[in-house]
Amino acid sequence: MSKTLTLNKITSQRGISVGDAAAKIADLGWNPSYVQEAMTYPTDYKITKTPKDPMKQVLRSYFPMEEEKDNRVYGALDAALRGDMFRNVEPRWIEWMKLFLAIIPFPEISAARSMAMVARLTPGEELRTGFTMQMVDEFRHSTIQMNLKKWYMENYIDPAGFDITEEAFGKCYATTIGRQFGEGFLTGDAITAASIYLTIVAETAFTNTLFVAMPSEAARNGDYALPTVFLSVQSDESRHIGNGHSMLMSMLKEPENYQLLERDMKYAFWQNHAIVDAAIGTFIEYGTTNRDKDKESYAEMWHRWIFEDYYRTYMLPLEKYGVKIHHDDVHEAWKRITEKMYVHTVAQFFAVGWPVNFWRIEAQTEKDFEWFEHKYPGWYAKFGEFWKWYEKLSHKGSKVVTFNEEVGYVYPHRCWSCLVPCLIREDIVVDEIDGQLHTFAHENDRWTAVEAFADEYQGRPTPAMGRFSGKREWETLYHGVDLADAIVDLNFVRSDGKTLIPQPHLRFDDKEMWTLDDVRGHTLMSPLKLLRDMSPADREQHLADYRAGFTINKCN
Amino acid sequence: MPATSSSVGSGAAGAAVFADSDSRKYRYFDPRGKRASHYEDMTVDVQPDPERYLIQDWIIAFPNGEGAYDKSATKALSSNWHAFRAPDQEWERTHYQRQSKIESLIQGVISNARKFGVHRKFDKAWYKILQNQLGAWKHAEFGLGTSLMQAQRYGYTQMINNATLTNSSYKLRLAQDITLYLAEIGLDIDGWDDSAGKNTWLEDSMWQGTREFIETIMGAEDYLEQYFAINVVFEPLVGELFRSGFMVQVAAANGDSITPPVISAAEADYERNLANTIDLMDLLIRDEKHAAHNKKLFSGWLKKYEKLAKKAATGLQPIWSLPHSKPISFSDVQEVAQERFSKIKGELGL
């Protein structure tokens, strides 16, 4: 038998185990005795059990690992340029990245900030190491995404929209939905925001659609930069999911948390569905040029990741602890995505509002219709004529689709809770908060705004819970303002002072591009203000008509 | 395959010329210099606020009505919180590159030294010093790291919060580096007690002034006060005093060539964090409307924390007598620390 040569015998050095290293680092904390830490972000939850750190990673291995990940990402971006990626990339796809990448760095950095909130109120020090790494991870995600966006701006055919990105994020009627998402991570009850809404629902359930499904579609459209960045981002998420699960196990140790857990799981699941599915569903289904019938639709992916993986294997087991799970909400979300065509109504809404966006939206055409009908039976009857209208009215000189009565589209009410409009018309609900009338996309949205975000829940005081605030209905800001003036105020105008940043087509030609003059003469209105100004009888009739829906006229 | 959705068959820059087809710079903020740095492009305005673009204001509030970020999180006032740019220009890639390099360097030093038994030649009294005193110090660094982690939640702009976040990351890395360094050399040293450092930190009278200082920072509710207390007061008067004034300078005379490289990365970290802090404080002290208010506020913080620093440093003084070889006296290093502190104060006009 020949002797095996092993370098290990020469070079090996006795070391400490990963478990020992994690334990020693967890022991860095202590209970202060001179001055107590201030509980600056309170919670109504009771957390007494010290959560475990499932990852047991230390910074010594973390930083080199992340640097290596970065090297691969930045190497891939260089390679993409050398491979002339942009010559073949589909503008239909990249245009939607103007919206997506305007939104996502803010929720990411909000997640970094929110780690401070959970770290302070979590007993023990073990999981603080996990929170520390998540904080630095989120800083990574936010800035690596800003870098990708800059890279698109420098290399894509039409940089307009990328060049005003963070300004647009604060102003646009579509990004308001993303702000609800990001602010939800770091405002209000610290556990509700930073643990349930962020890690236990958004990261555990919905990052699959965000960071896995989207990259696949990007690659189908010639964009292999986004997959490189976002799969690298997603590789950090398992750490965050572990943090969330560990916190959840600690919460479950206290029966008095169950009522709040039930509330927050319901709120977080429903709102993540309403927001993430609206945005990511639209990007994937409407930003693509690939109509391969063998690929999964967004609905199919949702069923696999959210319904099968998350609902069945993560949410359902919570019942054995005695936490009530709202099965009906999960089924209702599925019904909205399939039968009620939620994603398609959102894409339609974004298209109707194109003049107040900051990216281009191209019409869907015959080759898209067949795929949609195949994946979503009944789609053509509901949306086919609309997209024909949209294409027809995409030419400069047409009456803008937003205000064109010939089309038959009725501009929707905005949901006061998720900020996506009330697009499934029959589900609109109204209710009052502090004597003011509000509109909601669904009963669950009404429940969120009226019952969950309040100082009392089912008779239990909830002093730490957040409140909905601000000018939540975007349309209120420009009630009675001419469309062209609103666009100027939004700064969604190119630097020639007249050509709009948004365009309803992908024709890269000045002669085809809409200017302020092409949209002037139409007055924006707030549906909510109009509703509030109605008499009770008129309001009731209006809502009945709204629930009955609208019919898109035939486009000849 | 050409881009089918493009009217010109390509999605590449320059494939067509039209309005703003050459607009290839972010145009929503004013760069500090002639051209925006990459750091500015990655950082500025990612955290919005009602003054910069949130036309709907914050759309979720805390029960007291405050939005996600509120200027009242510090007593300092500014007529333009958005003006600050961190001189270290750190964004994710530069942060990971730097942290990773430090980790590799430290691991290389420890591993090589252990291979050749360098630590077995340390003076015997020095073992105890590493175990107890450096072992205690790691908790101070950890306390600073967690304080800064808390502070990075509150700043009014992305630039302030990211500078605070990276500062926290550096401190937490150092706390872990010391922990693992001591644990690893401890494997080879008979009678090594890895828990002695924490006991020293919690119970030894020499350390109680430092612990009180750290806990006061941890307990402060004003994020800028925490940032100020750490980088303007604690670091020069206690941090550098102990790290460089004792561990780095005394180690070699006691046969220890490992500890200085493990510790000295922290001094380079501090140079960067100090530069960030000075720039921010200077901006506030020279504020066109609030200079007097801020100066008074900072003077108050200085008074509060200088007192704690004096107590902490005095408490640590006996440590300089512990080693067999004493190449430098406490009074010498304290003089250096005071000089450094005076320069920082002088720069800020405090």
Question: What was the ipTM of the complex prediction?
Answer: 0.96
pLDDT, tens digit, for every residue of A174-229?
Answer: 999 999 999 999 999 999 999 999 999 999 999 888 888 899 999 999 999 999 99
B25 → chain A, closest CA residue: A163
Cα dihedral sign, A300-A303-A308-A309:
positive
The pLDDT of residue A288 is 97
Cβ-Cβ contacts under 8 Å between A and B: the total is 364
Cβ neighbours of A499 in B, within 8 Å:
18-20
Nearest CA in chain A to B170: A59
Query: What pLDDT score was predicted for residue A89?
Result: 97
pLDDT at A55 over 90: no
pLDDT of residue A52: 87
Contact B212 A36 (CB under 8 A): no
- Residue A319 CB partners (closer than 8 Å, separation 6+): A325
| Closest CB from B18, B25, B61 relative to A509 | B18
Report whether pLDDT(A6) > 90: no
Q: What's the CATH architecture for B83-348?
A: Orthogonal Bundle (1.10)
Q: Does A82 contact B at CB distance below 8 Å?
A: no
Cβ separation of A469 and B59 shorter than 8 Å?
Answer: yes
CB < 8 Å to A142, chain B: 46, 92
Instruction: List the beta strands (DSSP E) in B60-108.
Output: 60-61
Q: Does B107 touch chain A (CB under 8 A)?
A: yes
Contact B93 A59 (CB under 8 A): no
Q: Which residues of A touch B157 (CB under 8 A)?
A: none
Residues of B in contact with A114 (CB under 8 A): 153
What digits encode the pLDDT tens for the residues B185-203? Answer: 999 999 999 999 999 999 9
Chain Cα centroid distance, residue A252: 28
**Nearest neighbour of B59 by CB, restricted to A27, A28, A183:** A183
Residue ranges covered by each domain of chain B: 83-348
**Best B25, B57, B96, B305 residue to mutate vs chain A (most A CBs within 10 Å):** B96
Q: Provide the pLDDT confidence category of residue A44 given band limits of 50, 70 and 90.
A: very high
Q: Provide the pLDDT for residue B18.
A: 98
Query: pLDDT grade, residue B243 (50/70/90)?
Result: very high
pLDDT recorded at residue A12: 75
In DSSP terms, which residues pair with A500 in a beta bridge?
A: A493
| pLDDT of the residue at A120 | 87
Q: At A224, is the secondary structure helix, strand, or coil?
A: coil
Chain B contact probe: residue of A103, A136, A179 with most B CBs at under 10 A: A136
Cα radius of gyration (chain B): 24
Question: Are B184 and A25 an interchain contact pair (Cβ–Cβ within 8 Å)?
Answer: no
B166 touches A at CB < 8 Å: yes
Instruction: Using a CB–CB cutoff of 8 Å, tell me whether A105 touches chain B.
Output: yes
- Contact of A23 with chain B, judged by CB distance below 8 Å, is answered with no
pLDDT at residue number B1: 61
Question: Both tokens of residue A445?
Answer: 């949205």
Exposure class string for A344-379: b at 16+ Cβ within 10 A, else e = bbbbbbbbbbbbbbbbbbbbbeeebbebbeebbeeb
Q: What does DSSP assign to residue B247?
A: I
Closest CA–CA distance from residue B207 to any residue of chain A (Å): 13
Q: What percent of chain B shows pLDDT beyond 70?
A: 100
**Which 168-207 residues of chain B touch chain A by CB within 8 A?**
168-169, 172-173, 175-177, 179-180, 183-184, 187-188, 194-195, 198, 201-202
Q: For residue A1, is pLDDT > 60?
A: no
* B328: closest CA of chain A, how far (Å): 30
Q: Does A527 touch chain B (CB under 8 A)?
A: no
Question: Which residue type sits at A542?
Answer: H
The reply to whether residue B55 touches residue A477, judged by beta carbons under 8 angstroms, is yes
Q: How far apart are CA B218 and CA B211, in angstroms?
A: 10
Position A38 confidence tier, pLDDT thresholds 50, 70, 90? confident
In sequence order, which residues have a C-beta less than 8 Å from that of residue B138 and are 6 or more positions away? A28, B174, B175, B178, B179, B182, B197
Work out the average pLDDT over B207-220.
98
Read off the pLDDT of residues B267-314 as tens digits, 9 standing for 90 and up.
Answer: 999 999 999 999 999 999 999 999 999 999 999 999 999 999 999 999
Contact B185, B112 (CB under 8 A): no
Percent of chain A with pLDDT over 90: 89
Q: What are the structure tokens assigned to A392, written together?
A: 């027809």
Residue B13 to residue A155, Cβ atoms within 8 A? yes
pLDDT exceeds 60 at position A87: yes
**pLDDT class of A2 with cuts at 50, 70, 90:** low
Residues in CB range of B116: below 8 A, 6 or more apart: none
Q: Which residues of B touch A29 (CB under 8 A)?
A: 142, 146
**Residue in the structure block whose two tokens are 């997603």:** A234
Which of B37, B55, B178 to mutate to probe the A interface, most A CBs <10 Å?
B55
Does the beta carbon of A114 lie under 8 angstroms from any beta carbon of chain B? yes
Q: What is the mean pLDDT of residues B85-92?
A: 97
Distance from CA of B95 to the nearest CA of A (A): 9
Q: Does B68 touch chain A (CB under 8 A)?
A: yes
Interface of A with B in 457-516 (CB under 8 A): 463-472, 474, 477, 494-496, 499, 501, 505-510, 512-513
* Contact A365/B at CB under 8 A: no
Q: Is A37 helix (H, G, I), strand (E, B) or coil?
A: coil
Q: What is the mean pLDDT of chain B?
A: 96
d(CA A104, CA A35): 38
The token pair that represents A157 in the structure block: 């055919």
Quickly state the pLDDT bin for A7 (edges 50, 70, 90): confident
- A321-332 pLDDT tens trace: 999 999 999 999
pTM of the model: 0.96
Handedness of CA B158, B161, B164, B166 (dihedral sign): negative
Contact status, residue A150 vs residue A166, Cβ threshold 8 Å: no
pLDDT of residue B225: 98
pLDDT in tens, A332-362: 999 999 999 999 999 999 999 999 999 999 9
Higher-confidence residue of B1 and B116: namely B116
Q: Which site among A39, A59, A70 would you substitute to test the B interface, given the most B Cβ atoms closer than 10 Å to its Cβ?
A: A59
Partner B, chain A 160-189, Cβ-Cβ below 8 Å: 160, 163-167, 169-171, 176, 179-180, 183-184, 186-188
* CB neighbourhood size of A298 (10 A): 24
Find the residue in A nearest to B116 (Cα): A13
pLDDT category at A3 given cuts 50, 70, 90 is low
Q: Is A80 on the interface with B (CB under 8 A)?
A: no
Model confidence at A68: pLDDT above 60: yes
More confident residue, A516 or A7: A516
Grouping H, G, I as helix, E, B as strand and the rest as coil, residue A484 is helix
Give, as one character, the DSSP assignment of residue B12. B
The reply to whether B156 touches chain A by the CB within 8 Å rule is no
Which residues on B lie below 8 Å from A158 (Cβ)?
A: 18, 20-21
Which ranges of A476-535 would DSSP assign to H, the alpha helix? 483-490, 516-519, 527-533
